[in-house]
Amino acid sequence: MSSATQFLGKAMKDETSSGVNVDRRKRPKQPRAVGTVEAITEAAKQIILKEGYKNLTTNRIAEVAGVGVGSLYQYFPNKQAIIKALIEETVFRAAGKVRTCLRMLMEVPLEPALHQIMTMLLATYRENDFILFRILDQIPELKEFPQNLSVEIHTHSTNLAFLEQHQAEIVVSDLPTSLMLIERTTIHKIECFLAQDPPNITEGQFIDELTQMAVKYLTR
């Protein structure tokens, strides 16, 4: 039994015990309804970005989305589900970009490839309002459903494939574990970098730094 399985098992147990449902209530089929759902998550996003997570109330979401509060509960069973949907959406889009980029760099040597990846990652985080990714820290309840709420989850296997493609240049013994370490470290640094305002290091320097760190670690 892998730890992943255990983890999922735990999450499921928790869900059962707390009785909280964070999934969508119904799949809207009518185009009007699709628009409403998007308006809701978009409103949530704007509020988090502009007014802070602590101001994210259901009434405010409805107001910004231009719908009645009641409509929120047509598509989401509760507030958490809205946040979850928003993050999933964001993560899904971001992961797609990362995977596309990785596939294009399969044939490129490790160091320049990593440099490009890092550049793209930074851009993706910025575009996708990285603050959303950090929101999870403020919602312990949601942490128990991380299945789809982390970019790594959606990119890990592609990442792995990428590294295996470059195995000739790499010396670490346990590739999956090393990959995980690099992934986390990289993302953490990007978050720290983006959180600084103004940054005390140029973007170019920062990406070089990130790349060097990964290359050194992987190739001794």
Tokens read off for 145:
């459903």
CA atoms of 148 and 87, how far apart (whole Å): 9
Q: At what angle do helices 203-219 and 110-127 cross, to 10 degrees?
A: 130
Q: Binding partner of residue 217 among DNA, its own copies, none, CB under 5 to 8 Å per kind?
A: its own copies
By CB under 8 A, tell whether 220 contacts its own copies.
Answer: yes
By CB under 7 A, tell whether 69 contacts DNA.
Answer: yes
Q: Which one among 154, 160, 189, 208 touches its own copies, defined by CB under 8 A?
A: 189
Minimum CB–partner distance for residue 117 and its own copies (Å): 18
Q: Binding partner of residue 161 among its own copies, DNA, none, CB under 5 to 8 Å per kind?
A: none
By CB under 8 A, tell whether 197 contacts its own copies.
Answer: yes
Distance of CA 109 to the CA centre of its chain: 27
User: Within 10 A of 162 (CB to CB), how many other CB atoms are there?
Assistant: 22
Cα separation values, 119 from 70, 146, 206, Å = 43, 26, 10
In the bound state with DNA, the residue whose beta carbon lies nearer, of 14 and 169, is 14
For the purposes of burial, counting CB atoms within 10 Å of the CB of 193, is it exposed (0-12), middle (13-18) or buried (19 or more)?
buried
Q: Which of residues 146-185 bind its own copies (CB under 8 A)?
A: 177, 181, 184-185
Minimum CB–partner distance for residue 157 and its own copies (Å): 17
Contacts to DNA by CB under 7 A? 26, 28-30, 32-33, 35-36, 54-59, 66-74, 77-80
